Amino acid sequence: MKKIIFLALTGVLALTLSSGGVTREEIEKNPILKGKMLAKRCSWCHDINKTIVAPPFKVILKRYKDIPEETLKKQFFDAIKNGSKGKWHDWLEGHVQTRLGKGDVMYMPPQKPYYTDEEIKLIVNWLLTLKK
Ligand code: HEC
């Protein structure tokens, strides 16, 4: 039984950020899928692999690959809830062309107006599945 669930989950994660063909009930039953759906807002700026205007999630996870999962969960929770500024300054300068003046920093605005704490936790749990 465990194996079947695992396979089903892998299939789901192989999809892109689109919700094609997934019903609301399926999303409610699957916390990882729910986190992924909630993360759609993030795709204004982040993609999993591609650079839009923020570091791709895979690049973020790679930078922090040696940080224990529990620490990372807290760090990401805080970044999503309250925003983040400066940590990726050099990376952004090198990878994202902005029309901002020199010295200005692209930052991540707090996402707390859009999500509850519970929802942010679901997003973080989904995000960490991208590590594998
Ligand atoms: C308006 C654009 C924008 C949106 C929307 C956005 N981000 Fe970000 N995000 C950024 C930028 C820019 C950075 C780099 C910030 C820095 O330099 O500290 C960043 C950084 C991060 C980081 C790295 C934090 C760290 O500790 O290094 C994580 C994780 C992250 N975002 C997740 C998300 C998630 C999940 C969402 C959706 C809930 C989201 N972001 C929505 C622009 C955005």
Query: CATH number of 2-129: 3.40.50.2300, 2.40.420.20, 3.30.160.40, 1.10.760.10?
Result: 1.10.760.10
pLDDT at 60: 98
Q: Tell me 109's DSSP state.
A: P
pLDDT at 20: 64
Q: Please give the Cα distance from 107 to 54 (Å, whole number).
A: 9
Q: Please give the Cα distance from 87 to 105 (Å, whole number).
A: 10
Closest-lying ligand 1 atom to the alpha carbon of residue 38: 38
Give the residue extent of every domain in the chain.
Answer: 2-129
The strand pair at 84-85 and 107-108 is best described as antiparallel
pLDDT at 50: 95
Nearest Cα residue to atom 27 of ligand 1: 87
Q: Is the CB of 128 under 6 A from ligand 1?
A: no
Vertex 106 angle, CA 122 and 58, to 5°: 45
Query: Ligand 1: distance of its center to the CA of 14 in Å?
Result: 22
pLDDT tens-digit profile, the chain (132 residues): 555 554 444 444 444 445 567 888 988 899 999 999 999 999 999 999 999 889 999 999 999 999 999 999 999 999 999 999 999 988 998 888 666 666 677 899 999 999 999 999 999 999 999 997
Q: Please give the Cα distance from 4 to 7 (Å, whole number).
A: 5
pLDDT at 110: 98
Task: Write the single-letter amino acid at 107.
Answer: Y
48 near 131, Cβ under 8 Å? Answer: no
Closest-lying ligand 1 atom to the alpha carbon of residue 115: 38
